[in-house]
Amino acid sequence: MNTMAETKPVPSDASPTPAPPPLLARAEVQRIFYPSLVAVLLIGLWQWWVTAFEIPRFLVPSPLLVAQTLVADAGLLFGALFTTLKITVFAFVCATVLGVLIAFAFVQSRIIETALFPYAVLLQVTPIVAIAPLIIIWVKSPTASLVICATLVALFPIIANTTLGLRSVDPGLMSYFKLNRASRLQLLWRLRIPSALPYFFGGLRISSGLALIGAVVAEFVAGTGGTGTGLAYQILQSGYQLNIPRMFAALLLITVTGVLLFAAMAWLSKWALGSWHESEANHG
């Protein structure tokens, strides 16, 4: 009798490597693909509408014409963008420093916060176009006056968010610190500031865009001409000359700049908080 031992496969302990998810299933790809798809569809619809109905260029220029104008007037428009961006960055830095210092003062004393916070709110709700002419008259330097106007617009989110974050500490941790006789400086540095960082970076994301808005509005009010003019002046001049494609190109630069500023603040928040705070660590 011919018997042969049956050979059975030896089970492997190593589990197979899971297949990578499809490209469109990745969160980081979706955050870029879907907004880009919507933008392409809207731009295509815009181009079709202008071409099909023969809309005059002095009413609504086509996206292709706006792109051609952006390339043709690149020297003028990007020079104006640099001026506006310089004012925006200066105002954003000033608003961040002043807002953090004011928030530190508010958190040290309820009396100080109660006495001064309404004036911060008053500053926020006052239209910048109402006080910008006074600032431009009082401050001799055009650049300094524009920076002050933009700073006033961007200041309140830093104050409000940072103050809220400094107040939002865990009661148990606060009791523990007080039980160990921690000083005010230790409470601020070791407890309040780490708790306030997510709120602070949220304020930065809002304030960066407001600084750009404040710079553009201040340029509109100032109406400065000649060399060293910003994008707002180019928009005004384009409107006077009925050069609507250049106006749209300047608006496009302002929009893209605002998006890039927001993205930069979001990246900074991810970099600072991603390794330890749940507001960023849980995001793919």
pLDDT digits (tens, 9 = 90+) for 68-78: 999 999 999 99
Give the C-alpha separation, 254 to 9, whole Å: 66
Distances (CA, A) of 218 to 123, 204, 215, 273: 15, 20, 5, 34
pLDDT digits (tens, 9 = 90+) for 212-226: 999 999 988 887 544
pTM of the model: 0.84
Does 1.20.120.1200 match the CATH number of domain 61-272? no
Give the C-alpha separation, 156 to 23, whole Å: 41
The tokens of 196 are what? Answer: 């306030």
Are the C-beta atoms of residues 102 and 120 closer than 8 Å to each other? yes
Q: Map out the domains of the chain as residue ranges.
A: 61-272
The tokens of 212 are what? Answer: 């750009």
Q: In the chain, count H helices and then E strands.
A: 12, 0
Question: Quick one: pLDDT band at residue 179, thresholds 50, 70, 90?
Answer: confident
Running DSSP on this structure, what letter comes out for residue 226?
A: S
What pLDDT score was predicted for residue 228?
Answer: 58
pLDDT digits (tens, 9 = 90+) for 199-213: 999 999 999 999 999
Instruction: Return the exposure string of 225-234: e unless at least 16 CB atoms fall within 10 Å of the residue's CB, then b.
Output: eeeebbbbbb
What pLDDT score was predicted for residue 18?
Answer: 67
Question: Quick one: pLDDT band at residue 278, thresholds 50, 70, 90?
Answer: low
Mean pLDDT value across residues 113-121: 89
